[in-house]
Amino acid sequence: MLQGTRSVGIPTFENQNGRMMESAGGCSFLDVRLRDGKRQSVFRSYTFPYMDRPNLTVLTHALVTRITLEGKRATGVECIYNGKTQRISAGLEVVLSLGAIHTPKVLMQSGIGDQAELQRHGIPLVQHLPGVGQNFQDHPAIGCVWEYQKPLPPRTGSDTFFWKSDPNLDTPDIQTCLAEVPLAAVEMLARYNVPAGSWSMFGGIVRPKSRGRIRLTGPNPTDAVQIETNMMSHPDDLKAAIACVQLCREIGNSAALRPFTKREVMPGNLKGAAVVDFVRNGAITYWHQTGSAKMGQDAMSVVDANLKVFGIDNLRIADGSIMPRATACNTMAPCVIIGERAGEILKADHKL
**Model pLDDT for residues 169-224, shown as the tens digit of each residue:** 999 999 999 999 999 999 999 999 999 999 999 999 999 999 999 999 999 988 99
Beta bridge partners of 198: 147
| Higher local confidence (pLDDT), 242 or 152 | 242
* pLDDT in the model for residue 316: 98
Is residue 61 part of the annotated active site? The answer reads: no
pLDDT at 157 over 80: no
The phi and psi torsions of 225 (rounded to 5 degrees) equal: -85, 145
Q: Name the 3-class secondary structure at 129.
A: coil
DSSP lists the bridge partners of residue 143 as 202
List, for residues 290-340, the tens digit of each pLDDT value: 999 999 999 999 999 999 999 999 999 999 999 999 999 899 999 999 999
Cβ–Cβ contacts within 10 Å for residue 18, how many? 10
How far apart are the two ends of the chain, measured CA to CA in Å?
Answer: 48
240 to 12, 141, 175, 248, 251: CA distances (angstroms) = 22, 11, 11, 12, 17
Does 18 score more than 90 pLDDT? no
pLDDT band at residue 30 using 50, 70 and 90 as cut-offs: confident
Residue 151 and residue 174 in contact, taking contact as beta carbons nearer than 8 Å: no
Backbone angles phi, psi at 204, to 5 degrees: -120, 155
Share of the chain above pLDDT 70, in %: 99
Any residues with CB less than 8 A from the CB of 128 and at least 6 apart, and which?
Answer: 113, 114, 115, 311
Catalytic residue among 128, 234, 288, 350: 288
Burial class (CB in 10 A: 0-12, 13-18, 19+), 80: middle
